[in-house]
Structure 1
Amino acid sequence: MHFIFGGAFNGKRKWVKERYHDAFWCSAYRGDKLVMNSRHNVMVIEGIEQYIKESIEEGMTIEEVRRAFQTIVTDWLLLEASGHQVVIIGTEIGKGIVPMNPQDRAWRDSCGYVYQHIVKNAHIVDHIWYGVSNRLKGEQE
């Protein structure tokens, strides 16, 4: 798995498109349903934070979201074991002021837990800030 994260509008999508030309895209921003598998060689999941937010809005607790996404990550790892590549793009929402709204806090906290699990299991992790990548895990390009 390759996890790419950074601030909103910091060039993550462009950076991924430059590296994964023929990938199948599943985008929360377009309203796509989150997919666990694909017949395509490379699958990009864009907006993982939005899929997490949907789970919170549906009434899941932080722990339920955490467990659900652990299962999803396991499914993606199994997909990769069969020769596919999964690329996940997430926007960083955990920096800054803690939200006053309990639902927004639950979303922020859930993203933190899910991102930690993704990073732990990803082979490559890149942080994109203003279009510049910083490889945090995996071989350098």
Structure 2
Amino acid sequence: MQLFIGGACAGKRDLVAARFPGAAWYRVDEAGLEGREHDLRPGAALVLTGWTGWLERALAEEPDDDRLRGRLDAALEALVGAEAACDGEVVLILPEIGRGIVPMEAADRRLRDLAGWLAQDVAARAEAVWYVRHGLARCLRQVNPRGDAR
């Protein structure tokens, strides 16, 4: 699993498209998150984007943040398992929305919190984490084939 994270219009999509030509792209705000592991093909890349809309809808449907985070955790584990089983690559493009002014509205703070938890949970599982700014990617974490973080 690889994570590309950065602000709006930072160049995440272009970098991922260049690094993973021929990848299957899904917007989780349209296609959903659960079951996406079935879209991963052997030796291919699966790119998941559209997280803000999915998070907003999930927050509106689920009042319990812990239960919602548990659902996210289970979906991430299914993706990691599918990745190992078929030698594919899951790539997540996440927005960085945790910087700046803390929103006044409780719903907006929940969105910010959940997006931050999602980013932490993905980063903990990812073999590589890339922070993208101005079209440039900086590797924040990469695990080498022996499993050691570099």
**TM superposition score normalised by structure 2:** 0.85
Corresponding residue for residue 45 of structure 2: 42
Within the alignment, does 1:127 sit opposite 2:128 as a pair? no
Distance in 1 (CA, whole Å) between partners of 2:37 and 2:52 is 16
Match of 2:73 in 1: 70
Work out the percentage of aligned pairs sharing the same amino acid. 28
Q: Secondary structure at the match of 1:75?
A: helix
Aligned to 1:57: 60
Distance between the aligned counterparts of 2:73 and 2:98, measured in 1?
A: 19
Q: Say whether the 8 Å CA contact 1:48–1:88 is kept in structure 2.
A: no
Change in Cα spacing, 1:60 to 1:25, as seen in structure 2 (3 Å) is farther
Match of 1:80 in 2: 83
Does the 8 A contact of 1:26 with 1:32 survive in 2?
yes
The SS at the match of 1:21 is coil
1:52 CA displacement: 1.9
Aligned residue for 1:25, secondary structure, equals: strand
> Where does structure 1 lack aligned partners over 5 or more consecutive residues?
none
Partner SS, residue 89 of structure 1: strand
Q: CA RMSD in A?
A: 1.7
1:28 shift after superposition:
4.2
Taking the aligned partners of 1:53 and 1:99, their CA distance within structure 2 comes to 15
Equivalent residues of 1:37, 1:75 under 8 A apart: no
Q: Counterparts of 1:39 and 1:95 in 2: how far apart (Å)?
A: 32
Aligned residues, how many? 139
Work out whether 1:137 is the aligned partner of 2:141. Answer: yes
Tell me the TM-score normalized by structure 1: 0.91
Q: CA deviation at 1:139?
A: 5.9
Structure 2, unpaired ranges of 5+: 145-150
**Conserved? CA contact 1:79–1:85, under 8 Å:** no
Match of 2:148 in 1: none
Match for residue 32 of structure 2? 33
State the 1:53 CA deviation: 2.0
CA distance in 2: counterparts of 1:61 and 1:26, whole angstroms: 26
